[in-house]
Amino acid sequence: MNAILRGVRVIDPLGRLDAPGQDVWIDGGKILAIYHHIDAAGVPVVDLTPPDGVDPCVLCPGFIDLHVHLRQPGDDEAETLETGARAAAAGGFTHMVAMANTTPPIDTPERVAEARLAASNLPVSILQVAALTRGLDGEELVDIRKCVESGAVALGDDGRNSVSPRQLAIALAETAHLSRAVFVHPEDEEMIAQANGTQGSVTRSPIRPVETETRAVNLAVRALSHARSGHLHLQHLSSEGSVASLRRARHQGLAVSAEVTPHHLSMWLPVAEEPDPQALRKVNPPLRGELDRVALVQALREGLIEAVATDHAPHRAAEKSLAYDDAAPGMIGLETALATCITIGGMGGEWLATLVERLTVGPHRILGPASGVPEPRLRIGESATCTLFDPNAEWTVGETPLHSRSRNTPLIGARLRGTVLLTLAGGRVIHQDPARVPIVSEQVTSV
């Protein structure tokens, strides 16, 4: 690819750059220049200059998703590493972190190594979380050091949360030496079991009162404070109470970070009727009320919550067409994340630069430098890892087929604003909208 992208807004949070009306010259996968006007003989120009009063297209570092489920190994019909990577690229993501709740789970150093090998040579970097406990059942901690040596970027039992606070404190202390965070899915399994009158697995249990999250957040924070070291990362916060607990923990100086999903920022209900099947809106933790949504948006805007993460959770259609109480929880999110945040998640308009920060620098900070993920920067002369998006372009979800192998989102049919036009990773074009960016690209990587 050799082209000049004309008239874009360049947002590079680490470079302290937010400049509209820029021309960006990309040649051979490298950003050659960013300037207010560039002409170079023979170099094609893609003119993206917006009409007066319309927001420009944005060029920024590639997005990093801290939280995806890719179902390989175990359920290739729902998603594979390849289809997940394709969906990620289409959503503007160049790096994503895969959870360990596959079948079998990624709970040994050997499985971490296998998962990393299986994910190599894909255009999107897939980083791996190792389970915190064997089988994710909370009983026995994995060999944390060896899992990290095999390449795990963090530890966590996401999907489950049955580890005791005591074990969690031990794990936090150990991971501190290894510069890795412990990711916690904060839902209290005992309380959920009680609320649903069950003794078995609570993964699909439909009744999940907000107190189950508040209690789990508070227990995890207490474990961190007992550990006196370590980094606790709270996944997919869904409630006002959790935001309050997070704020208290931060005021105490504890090393705790948090993420929020596009679906909890939007609770998607403003754009969708009750979906059919109804279980399309079933997700753990559940979608809650407007006060919760507003608290989450506020926390993300102010930086108390540092990252947007999708919790992309593909499921086969059969798993979602069961009765609500029996259906699998989760929704796909890689391809709708940006548009959901912009259109109904309170992060469009004046909050766009903040959104970019929370999709790039925020998640990178949480992973830490030991993860090996390069700093999300736009550097002149280096291979570009970046995303170009139009925050205004409207589209209908599902009108053109999604890249994910699954379709479980209640947003099918919704009109959203915000489309990804181009994604480059390590200088390679991994996604391109040929209508809007009609450049010859020898390197659209087929995954």
| Comparison of 227 and 283: residue with beta carbon closer to ligand DOR | 283
Strand duo 30-35 + 45-47: pairing: unpaired
Least Å from the CB of residue 278 to ligand DOR: 15
Of 107 and 357, CB closest to ligand DOR: 107
Q: Which is nearer to ligand DOR, 46 or 66 (CB)?
A: 66
Three-class secondary structure of residue 390 per DSSP? strand
Output the six-digit token pair for 380: 């002149």
- Least distance to ligand DOR, CB of residue 328, Å: 6
User: How many CA within 13 A on the CB side of residue 388?
Assistant: 28
Binding map of ligand DOR across residues 144-183, x = CB under 6 A, - = no contact: --------------xx------------------------
Name which of 69 and 215 has its Cβ closer to ligand DOR.
69
The answer to whether the CB of 116 falls within 8 A of the CB of 128 is: yes
Catalytic annotation on 65? Answer: no
* Residue 204 makes contact with ligand DOR by CB under 6 A: no
Among 247, 134, 235, which residue's Cα sits nearest to residue 187? 235
The strand pairing partners of 125, in sequence order, are: 95
Minimum distance from residue 351 beta carbon to ligand DOR (Å): 26
- For the bound state, the minimum distance from the C-beta of residue 100 to ligand DOR, rounded and expressed in Å, comes to 10
x/- binding map, residues 317-346, to ligand DOR, per CB under 6 A? -----------xxx----------------
DSSP string, 425-446: ETTEEEEE-TTTS----TT---
Task: For residue 447, give every residue at least 6 positions away whose Cβ sits within 8 Å of its Cβ, in sequence order, or none.
Answer: 82, 85, 86, 89, 122, 123, 124, 430
Interaction of residue 280 with ligand DOR, rule CB under 6 A: no
Q: Which of residues 117-136 bind ligand DOR (CB under 6 A)?
A: none
Question: Binder to ligand DOR among 111, 116, 180, 185 (CB under 6 A)?
Answer: 185
Considering the complex, what minimum distance in angstroms separates the CB of residue 212 from ligand DOR?
13
Build a one-symbol-per-residue string for 230-269: x at contacts with ligand DOR by CB under 6 A, - elsewhere.
Answer: ----------------------------------------
User: What letter would DSSP give residue 415?
Assistant: E
Query: In the bound complex, what is the minimum distance in angstroms from residue 8's beta carbon to ligand DOR?
Result: 35
313 lies in the site for ligand DOR, by CB under 6 A: yes
Q: Is 350 exposed, middle or buried (0-12, 13-18, 19+ CB in 10 A)?
A: exposed
Phi and psi at 133, nearest 5°, equal: -125, 150
Burial bucket for residue 354 (CB in 10 Å: 0-12, 13-18, 19+): middle
Smaller CB separation from ligand DOR, 10 or 184: 184
34 closest CA partner among 63, 6, 62, 2:
6
> Which residues 63-92 are close enough to bind ligand DOR by CB under 6 A?
69
- The binder of ligand DOR chosen from 283, 334, 355, 411 (CB under 6 A): 283
Write down the least CB distance from residue 285 to ligand DOR, Å. 7
Cα separation, 243 vs 302, whole angstroms: 12
Q: Of these residues, 23, 157, 292, 311, which one is catalytic?
A: 311
Report the residue number, 220 or 328, with the smaller CB distance to ligand DOR: 328
Count residues contacting ligand DOR (CB under 6 A)?
12
Report the residue number whose CB is nearest to ligand DOR.
330
Angle at 178 between CA 173 and CA 184, to 5 degrees: 60
Helix or strand run (H / E) with residue 315: none
Instruction: Specify the residue, 9 or 236, whose C-beta has the smaller distance to ligand DOR.
Output: 236
Q: How many of the other CB atoms lie within 10 Å of CB of 371? A: 21
Say which amino acid occupies 396.
Answer: T
Candidates 390, 389, 293; CA nearest to 89 is: 389
Residues that bind ligand DOR (CB under 6 A): 69, 101, 158-159, 185, 283-284, 311, 313, 328-330
| Catalytic positions | 311
